[in-house]
Amino acid sequence: MNKNKTEISNINNLNKVSRQKNVTSPIIQENLVSKVNELTFNSAANQPPLRQNRSYRSDSLSSFDYRYITDKLLKIDNIESINELYNSINSLITNTIGSDFYAIGLFKEQSNCINLRLRDKMGNTYSTKIFMKDKDNPIVQVFTNHKSMFVEKHDYLKLNYYKNTSTVILPLLSANKCIGVFIMEDKHARQDEIIYALIAKYTALVIHNLELTEKSEEFVNTDTLTLLYNHRGFQELLSNEIARSQTTKQQLSVIMMDINNITKINREQGHAKGDEVIKLVAEKVRQNVREGDIAGRYGGDEIAIILPKTSSDRAKYLAEYLTYSLSCCFIDNIGPIKVSVGVATYPDCAEDKEKLLLLAEQAMYISQAKGYKDGMSAIISSSDFNFWDDVALKSYAEVVSKRHAQLGINFEEELITKFHSDHNLSGTKIREIATSLAGAIDAKDTYTKGHSTSVSKYSEALARAINLPEDEVERIALGALLHDVGKIGIPETVLRKEGPLSNEEWEIMKQHPVIGVEKVLQPNPNLRDLIPIVKYHHERIDGTGYPEGLTGDKIPLAAKIVAIADTYHALTSDRPYRKGMDLEKAVSILEEGAGTQWDSDLIRTFIQIAPSLGIQ
């Protein structure tokens, strides 16, 4: 770029010298200085300068102010896109040269052709491809030889609707590399070659810089193993495509694919073998997606594809084609590649990006659970299944548990809404839904993963040990499953804090039993009999518990049972600030609190059954 600026400086210096010596410069003719000043004044006043009128131009470009062109070229450095460059070049040529047309052609290695974009003085555009095999075409010759060429007739462009006039073709050279050609219609091209060469050189440098910038940005957003977009790049592009779909009112689908058994392959045959499988899947996806589709490596063994302007049915059809293509690929010691596939469609399934991805991933897990039919993966769309289906619920909990830290959306709220929307659920369904909700809550608190399920198991065991009726055992197990449901309303900064809570944080945490009752249980008639369990499982025998400070027999039996199970699991679980206790240590703490914190008789029974429960 410095070399070009030097050339421009030389041009300006030559102009200056010619005026000082009162001689006619080969670049600027001194007798036209007054006209140049007039044209400049007219331009500044937003009047169309005379040089835009083709009839005015009866001699070579040297009759015009080269400084105007060079000044404009210096400003091209600031443009940020190819289209902006085209507009700048068009403005420059329109305001100074007034040619019938000009063209910029860029070489595309993949198709081995030059994509030519021509624009005429009326603002019309014309695009065509010049294939490199057409060696007689002057455009190909200039590109190959890196030398300018003057052509008396523009037949090579096949523009029958333009008068056949002469053109100059110049190579676009940057860093000793030809990236395309620049074509100008001009009968004075031989005299004006120096300024055209300068325009071509600047154009080449800007295009080359834009390409390098684009490649560097692609590298930032490219997964090095698969050469697909990485998670960051995929997310950005999905946001853009959803915004476009919102504007155009068109559908958009997302396919989520999980490579089956990749963990087993990594473990038994090494990560190099696993990488080989992932790379092959990525290659097949890249080969088989349509133009305009966008594929990315969403996770370690997950590949996602954005399908603009695509319905759910069409997306499923494309997914079937992809899975068939993959099933035809055999890898030594592994066999055919098998994937689980989920589909979600905007706006039918969701309008929010993160929810769309979650639903696609949930559908993928359901596909994984359903396995194969006739050797092919089950292609599942999020619009195909009932939300309360057992497999769907388990898949939902699994996805929420896996992605919660990344979601940024309160999906537990949505699950609660579904809780309240159906008041005619059977007991079995309520249990399934509660399991999913408990999984979502545990996912929110990373230090208590699986906590609700374990507390339910311990509570059920203790209830059976004291010979409670079966229906009461089931109620206690369900209440224990939801005992921490109020943590939905607790900030994650409190839930995830490493180490003891401050007094203020502790007061916030103590609100979760009441939040659980008011937000989840009370609105749903099927769950109201669980209120005493959830609300009072943090009460103490001595009255120092919360939220109401109940004492002794005022605390419901079911809540006393859950309180012991809750404490036992907390004692035996790992925390960031300590390892989980062994059975003996946990039992000794329960014994110390018998009669003050917990019911003595229940503690005695729990200690007897604790060894059979194991430590989760």
SS (H, E, C) 383-403: CCCCCCCHHHHHHHHHHHHHH
Choice between 71 and 94, residue whose per-residue pLDDT is larger: 94
Range with the poorest average pLDDT among 177-181, 185-189, 258-262: 185-189
Residue range 587-611: average pLDDT?
94
Q: Quick check: 30 pLDDT over 60?
A: no
Confidence at residue 311, expressed as pLDDT on a 0 to 100 scale: 94
pLDDT at 401: 54
pTM: 0.46
Report the pLDDT value the prediction gives residue 176, as an integer from 0 to 100.
83
d(CA 277, CA 284) in angstroms, rounded, equals 11
Query: Given a cut of 80, is residue 222 above it in pLDDT?
Result: yes
At residue 409, does pLDDT exceed 70?
no
Provide the pLDDT for residue 66. Answer: 61
Q: What are the φ/ψ torsions at residue 81 (nearest 5 degrees)?
A: -150, 160
Q: How confident is the model at residue 182 (pLDDT cuts 50, 70, 90)?
A: very high
- Lowest pLDDT segment from 204-208, 492-496, 559-563: 492-496
Vertex 57, ends 56 and 58: CA angle to 5°?
Answer: 105
pLDDT-wise least confident of 138-147, 211-220, 223-232, 364-373: 211-220
- 108: which residues sit within 8 A by CB, 6+ positions away? 114, 115
Q: What integer pLDDT is reported at residue 461 of this predicted model?
A: 94
As a whole number of angstroms, the distance between CA 342 and CA 364 comes to 4
Whether 498 contacts 600, CB under 8 Å: no
The band of 414, judged by pLDDT with boundaries at 50, 70 and 90, is low
pLDDT value at 185 more than 80: yes
- 171: cis peptide before it, omega within 30°? no
**Res 39: pLDDT:** 33
* pLDDT tens digits, 344-389: 999 998 888 888 888 898 888 888 877 766 556 788 888 877 655 5
- Report the chain's mean pLDDT, rounded to a whole number: 79
| pLDDT grade for 541, boundaries at 50, 70 and 90 | very high
Within 8 A by CB and 6+ apart from 387, the residues are 393, 396, 418
Query: How do beta strands 149-151 and 302-308 pair?
Result: unpaired
* d(C-alpha 488, C-alpha 160), whole Å: 71
pLDDT digits (tens, 9 = 90+) for 91-100: 777 777 777 8
How large is the average pLDDT for residues 541-558? 95
- Rounded to an integer, the average pLDDT of 469-478 is 93
Q: Which domains does the chain have, with CATH numbers?
A: 2-218 (3.30.450.40), 221-385 (3.30.70.270), 406-616 (1.10.3210.10)
Question: What does the pLDDT average to over 612-616?
Answer: 69
* pLDDT of the residue at 32: 29
| Nearest partner of 594 among 549, 615, 564, judged by Cα | 564
User: Which of 188-192, 232-236, 607-611 is least confident?
Assistant: 188-192
Read off the pLDDT band of 29 (50, 70, 90): very low
Q: How many residues does the chain have?
A: 616
- Model confidence at 564, pLDDT cuts 50, 70, 90, reads very high
Strand-pairing partners, residue 149, are: 169
Residue 289 per-residue DSSP state: S
Q: Is the pLDDT of residue 532 over 80?
A: yes
| The token pair that represents 551 in the structure block | 């004492």
Q: What is the pLDDT of residues 115-130, one digit of tens each?
A: 998 888 777 888 888 9
